[in-house]
Amino acid sequence: MKRLLFFAIAAFALLDHALAQQTITLGASVQETGRLANTGRYYRDGYEFAVQTINERGGVKVGNEHYRLDLKILDNQSDVNLSVRQYTQLLTQDKVNFLLGPFASDFALADSSAAEKYEVPMIQGGGASDQIFSRGYKYIFGTLPVASKYFDSTVQAMSKFDPVPKSVALLYADDAFDVAVAKGAREQLQAGGFRVTQDERYSSNSSDFSSLISQIKAAAPDAVLVAGHETEVLNFIRQAKSLDFNPKLYSFTVGVPTADFRLALGRDANFAYGMTSWLPSPALKDDYFTNAQVFAESYQKRFGYEPDYHAASAVADVEAFVKAIEAAGTLDPKKVRDAIAQVDFESLYGRIQFGAVGQINLPQTVVQVYNDAVVPIYGQKGFLNKPRYPMPAWDKRP
Amino acid sequence: MSLLLQIIVNGILLGGLYALMALGLALVWGVLNIVNLAHGAFIMLGAYVSYYLFTLLHVDPFAALPLCMLSLFALGYLLQRNVLNLLVRAPMFNTLLITFGIDVVLTYLAQIVFSADFRVVNPSYAGSNFTLLGATVPLVRALAFAIALGLTVTVWLVLAHTRLGRAVRACAQNLLAARLYGVEPRTVYALTFGLGAALAGAAGNLYGVVSQINPYIGDALTAKSFAISIIGGLDNPLGVVVGGLFLGTLESLTSLYVGSTYSDVASFGVLVLVLILRPKGLLGRTT
């Protein structure tokens, strides 16, 4: 009897082992709490949604075997140092297979060093700064387009406006992303023949722009370009209103395409220009989500808020890993890394292909907010809609 | 020249906001010798109270001021009576630790309950302004300045001329003598801490109108209030007004003449100077 029991248990154990599905674990340290949590959640939710959907559609095929994707997300509390420690933990203790990135260039800059040190590829969709990709690292890839090119389409569009804005003020925060954006914008403005009245750097997380706005108002430029994060942009606009500052146009690197922005500002959001590398268009077809519009609708239904390019970028990261793993036919980090460098496929985020230094190349579409809608204004092929220009003075707005 | 005037006006108005924020901290610190590291969290909660009153019940922020102050007063009173009172005669370090702990708990509770989404209170007059001597003056900031002054003067009058005020000052000067005179320290401490929290609530109430609210705004505000309290001096409630005005104007002028990224350098640099040259603050007694 005891022998029978022993054999039964052994048989079950073997059977269980044979049936247990193999998993590929993707690790990430994301800002779930802390001052960046408002955007960090796009990454957590994007990663989860992608992993779940890919598993539902059959998972990943490595050679002849099927694997499930698994996700291990840690909360870095919007603290860069904690984020680096968490990535190190994911690699050394949790022994995840591959890494997904955090939000924000400052984080991606620091965390990519962990990936490089342990030679495990990281695909991140949260950091656009050129600095991330200028160190000769081989194990970092990014799905946000190059920061220094963010304002390219805006400056091009500006040179076609009527009347052409002659003078521009450039403001930027002092973090990795915004400094890179400003560097590129500066070059573009000079090449475009614009007179730059102000080229001012301000502290990240400033809540008071009164002095800056007063100075810019005194110089009276036609256009203002601001490279900053969402809360700074919000404060800027509200304070511009309260100080009665009326440029002909102002454009911001982040915030404008997101629903929160329009909700917070109400009608004050009107006429603001921004940019996005992604719009939920049905023309962006995807193997797992049908297309970008279907993705946006199901994302909103599941998580209760509209996705923006952050979420799409996060999903693209997971899909890029799947394609690369399937192409490599192995889970070996070095071989997968080489496969990632070679991927080229269409997804709900656009065409995923990494350049020589590991960064994607996607154009930014200039958008403008009007009446709680984000209107695409200018893309690669020229004007998509007529811009509402110049911006009416605050007291003359409809 | 009018740019300079505008910058100075900006600085004064910013100073008014700063003074409002620092008032509660300075009161509690000066009188109870408790450095309340959760002060910023109280401001944050006051801001959320104002936000929900505005969004759900359409109560104007200025009308909601008494409600904000009352609710934060209740929170402060309960916290002091039941938690902080246990440490009133303990070393300073313990009160720092416990208020830090309260700060963390309140911040992360706010994250769980309210989520990290940023909120703004956007009444129709939020962007209104008027012109004074060629400078544009934002209406809300001017009103906040007036409220800061009003509250400071009220606090000063309460401390100087009412029974409660005398009891509070007595506890601060000589606890034993105060008790011999029949003052009940636990009630007095709780009332004072509650008052400090109420003042933080008042600052929070207006904060959402001039800036944006999220659970993490507290820490930076505590640091700022701390600096202002030291610069202004803790002996006199008017010290925060002086400290706030000084700091606000300094930051604005630094932004104009040196560069925007140097404002923090300037404020904390001044803090160091004040600590070296006039440790009791600009309005502190030099004896």
Residue A7 inside a domain? The answer is: no
Domain of A264, in residue numbers: 149-276+364-396
pLDDT score of A286 more than 90: yes
Question: A172 touching B, CB under 8 A?
Answer: no
B116 to chain A nearest CA, in Å? 5
Query: Quick one: average pLDDT of A143-161?
Result: 93
Q: Which of A6-20, A340-354, B224-238, B254-268 has the lowest mean pLDDT?
A: A6-20
CB within 8 Å: A244 and B129: yes
Given a cut of 70, whether residue A229 has pLDDT beyond it is yes
Average pLDDT, chain A: 92
Residue B287 pLDDT > 50, yes or no?
Answer: no
Q: How many residues does chain A have?
A: 398
A232 and A369 in a single domain? The answer is yes
Choose among B7, B119, B261: nearest Cβ to A174. B261
Q: What is the mean pLDDT of residues B142-158?
A: 90
Task: Clarify whether residues A324 and A203 are in a common domain.
Answer: no
Q: In what order do the strands lie in the sheet with A167-173?
A: A195-202, A167-173, A223-227, A249-252, A273-276, A365-370, A373-379, A382-383
What is the total count of domains within chain A?
Answer: 2
Q: Do A244 and B118 touch (CB under 8 A)?
A: no
* pTM for the whole structure: 0.88
Q: Is A266 on the interface with B (CB under 8 A)?
A: yes
Lowest mean pLDDT among A25-39, A176-190, B77-91: B77-91
Domain ranges for chain B: 19-218
* For residue A95, pLDDT beyond 50: yes
Task: State the Cα–Cα distance between residues A112 and A31, nearest whole angstrom.
Answer: 16
Who among B129, B141, B212 is closest to A231 (CB)?
Answer: B212
Where is pLDDT greater, at A44 or A264?
A44
Calculate mean pLDDT across residues A86-111: 95
Quote the pLDDT of residue A20.
60
More confident position, B113 or A17: B113
- Are residues A203 and A287 both part of a single domain? no
User: Is A259 inside a domain boundary?
Assistant: yes
Residues A73 and A208 in one domain: no
Q: What are phi and psi of A79, to 5 degrees?
A: -115, 120
- Interval A14-23: pLDDT, tens: 665 555 679 9
Contacts of A264 (CB under 8 A, 6+ apart): A234, B118, B119, B120, B122, B212
Residue-level pLDDT at A28: 96
The single-letter DSSP state of residue B123 is -
Give the nearest chain A residue to B7 (CA atoms).
A211
Chain A residues 336-395 with a CB less than 8 Å from chain B? 394
Question: Average pLDDT in the B191-220 region?
Answer: 92
> Using one digit for the tens of pLDDT, what is the confidence trace for A264-279?
898 899 999 999 999 9
User: Do A254 and A314 belong to one domain?
Assistant: no
Residue B274 has pLDDT above 50, yes or no: yes
Structural domain includes residue A10: no
Find the mean pLDDT for residues A385-392: 92
Q: Does A358 reside within a domain?
A: no
User: Which pair of structure tokens corresponds to residue B258?
Assistant: 């040196």
Average pLDDT along chain B: 90
Chain A closest-CA separation from residue B204 CA (Å) = 14
Check if A243 contacts B (Cβ < 8 Å): yes
Q: What is the mean pLDDT of residues B247-270?
A: 90
How far, in Å, CA of A202 to CA of A30, rounded? 26
CB atoms within 10 A of CB A4: 8
pLDDT of residue B116: 86
Residue A51 lies in a domain: yes
- Does one domain contain both A125 and A177? no
pLDDT interval class at A90 (50, 70, 90): very high
Note whether A62 and A206 are same-domain residues.
no
Tell me, yes or no, whether A214 and A300 share the same domain: no
